[in-house]
Amino acid sequence: MEDFIEQMRNDHREFDKGNLEGYFGNEPFDLFTKWYSDAFISQPEPNAFVLSTAGLNNFPSSRILYLKELLDKKFIFYTNYKSQKGKELHLNPKAGMLFFWPGLQRQVRIEGIVEKVSEEISNDYFKSRPRGSQIGAWASSQSEFLNDRSDLEKNVEKYAKKFPRGVPRPPHWGGYELTPLLIEFWQGRPSRLHDRIIFEWYGNEWKAYRKNP
């Protein structure tokens, strides 16, 4: 363990993959689209992001999800509405997203307000999921106590028999859309003097500014 800690302490890698010199666009979505396209070409699971939520106890909780769509400048993901994150978003619809693409030495941090998408959007996406994932959405009481793995497997068998052909979307499962109020682009730079450009929404327009690394 001491060797492992020493190895971490001595990790002084340099950041030299790019910069944001001179970049201040009128809004953040062109840059996000470009960065996402770069990540899609070169990074594993480029649509993976950390979603952070908080409930009434004000403790943040985070987990990895997948961005599924960017519609009308809103970031869309799907989950069980009765899960921990679903319950927390019901109590506090403010959330944070974080994309990290290490091979490009880039991060994108997003803060915003979350709402459920329409049932039509949720239905369309659910139809595109593999059958096993559709059955799983019925079988799993996400984030609830599970006495034994076999209980989950029995539920899978139960719903596989109940829906031998098409699987309808469970009413407790669907999409959320995050409307961003702040988007920060982080590009690693040498000597830890990283580029940080923030776009913040001020009612009717985006304003961009830099922050110290």
Between 2-11, 128-137, 143-152, 156-165, the lowest mean confidence (pLDDT) is in 2-11
Q: Which domains does the chain have, with CATH numbers?
A: 23-131+171-210 (2.30.110.10)
- The tens digit of pLDDT for each residue in 191-212 reads 999 999 999 999 899 999 999 9
- The tens digit of pLDDT for each residue in 25-81 reads 889 999 999 999 999 999 999 999 999 999 889 999 999 999 999 999 999 999 999
- The DSSP element (H or E) to which 88 belongs, if any, is helix 84-91
Confirm whether pTM is higher than 0.95: no
**What string of DSSP letters covers 109-177?**
EEEEEEEEPPHHHHHHHHHHS-HHHHHHHHH--TTS--S-HHHHHHHHHHHHHH-SS--PPPTTEEEEE
Q: C-alpha dihedral over 112, 36, 71, 23, to 10 degrees?
A: 70
18 vs 209: which has the higher pLDDT: 209
Q: Which residues are catalytically annotated? A: 192
**Nearest to 24, CA basis, from 179, 201, 182, 206:** 206
